[in-house]
Amino acid sequence: MPSENRLVAAELEQRWNRSLIHVSEIVSKIAAYDAATPRPSPVLATDITALATDLWAVWSAPTTDDYTLGAGPQVEIWDNEFAALAARMVVG
């Protein structure tokens, strides 16, 4: 093999090896990120449907605070609208 070709081949091999090392570092970073990222708990459609059918339980749950509901006058407005909607649902 001519010496120019050996130099080209050696340079290509060095670049290839550097690229493999770079890919390996990226894969490691992705694995570390995935390991540190909490996975969401699975929520079943039936769970969501159950909550939707009993919104009052969600609204009045002890874990539901003003911040979650949207503090201030908005809470009262929404509460009144919710009560009106709930009354219409029960009646009609």
Helix (H, G, I), strand (E, B) or coil at 39: coil
The answer on 52 and 24 residing in a single domain is no
The structure's pTM equals: 0.42
Q: What pLDDT score was predicted for residue 34?
A: 87
Q: Same structural domain for residues 30 and 50? A: no
For 79-88, what is each residue's pLDDT tens digit?
566 666 666 6
Whether 5 and 24 map to the same domain: the answer is yes
Number of domains in the chain: 2
Q: Check whether residue 80 and residue 50 sit in a common domain.
A: yes
Pair (49, 84) in one structural domain:
yes
Residue 57, C-beta contacts closer than 8 angstroms, at least 6 positions apart: 51
**Containing structural domain, residue 68:** 45-91
Same domain, 29 and 64: no
For residue 73 the two structure tokens come to 């006058």
pLDDT digit string (tens) for 48-72? 777 777 777 777 888 877 766 665 4
